[in-house]
Structures are given as C-alpha cells and as structure tokens.
Structure 1
Amino acid sequence: MKVKWLLVGLLSAPSFAIPVENDAVISKDFENNPQLYEEVANLIRLYGYKCDSLSALRPMVFSRGFVAVCNRFSYTYEIEDKGGRWVVTLD
C-alpha cells in the first residue's frame, strides 16, 4: 500500500525534523518516508500533543489512518480520516 494522501493543513504549522528512534517499529509501507513522519508528527503537535521522536508508525487496520507512537513508546496516537478531516486522538 503506497501512501498517496497528504495530511492537509500542515504547511503553516511550525515544523522541525523529527528523529526516528533506533529501535523504531515502522511499517514496511512507510519505511524511508521522512516527509510522512514529519506530517504525522506535525499533525499530532497541532492537536496539542507531544511527539518529539517517532517510536512506531503503522497503518490502521479497519479505517483510513495511522497509529503513531512517540517519545520512547510513551504516547500512542490514532490519526484517522473522519469525513475528510484528519483527527488525532490519544490512545
């Protein structure tokens, strides 16, 4: 599965390169895609949550979206497309 959708609304968000942890668990679908990592982290931050480093990233199983884990596996987020809008929830 190739990620072809762009997380919208991030161009105006402050961003910085998110470190990917050495032991990060990244889905094969998302390997070597630093732009996606940045967009996921920026969207999490736009919702007011912390994501200083990426521990894991995988696609959701039953809906369109991602599960992201940040800060040494401390925080798990669901990033889901709901009605054409990306919604971030702390899991």
Structure 2
Amino acid sequence: MFSSINIFRLIALLEGVSYILLLFIATPIKHFYNDPQYVKMLGMPHGLLFVAYVSLAFMFKKEFAWNTKQFLTVLIASVIPFGTFYIDKIYLKKLSTK
C-alpha cells in the first residue's frame, strides 16, 4: 500500500526528472535545432507534476510538522534543478522510514 509520504516522494522524483529533461535536453534541442516538439511533449507533464508537488507540499506541511524555513526550502527546491532530489534525501526519506 502506498503511504502519503511515498506518493510525495514519487511525485518529487518524477517532477525532478521531468525538469532535468526539459531544461537540459528539450530546451537545447529547441534552441539549437529549432525543434520545439520535445518541449511540447515534456512541458505539460512537467507542469502537472510541478503543480502536484507544490499542492502536496501545502497539504503535508502540517502532517510533517515543517517549520516555515523547511517548508520554503521544499517549495523553492521545485524550481531549482536537482532540488527535489535534495528534498527527498534530506526531508522525505527520513519521514518514510518512521
């Protein structure tokens, strides 16, 4: 059975991977080869995963007892490449082992 923390960890992983693919694969292809198909293909899934990540962060703030600094770190990590991987390692992995 999936726990809420495991669902959040999965969304964080997928959001991070989609962001990396969008930034470092799709966008360079769009600009260097004038081929926007990969940005179009990855843009919508990444956007949905981003919204899910931020929504889950708001939903779980109280449940995980994050203070303001921790919560803002979780939110800011969603716009920094590799940020969600850091959040998983520092915050979420510890919560899933409890």
TM-score interval (norm. to shorter): under 0.3
RCO (CA 8 Å, sep 6+): is it higher in 1 or 2? 2
TM superposition score normalised by structure 2: 0.27
TM superposition score normalised by structure 1: 0.28
Higher helix share: 2
Structure exhibiting the larger radius of gyration computed from Cα positions: 2
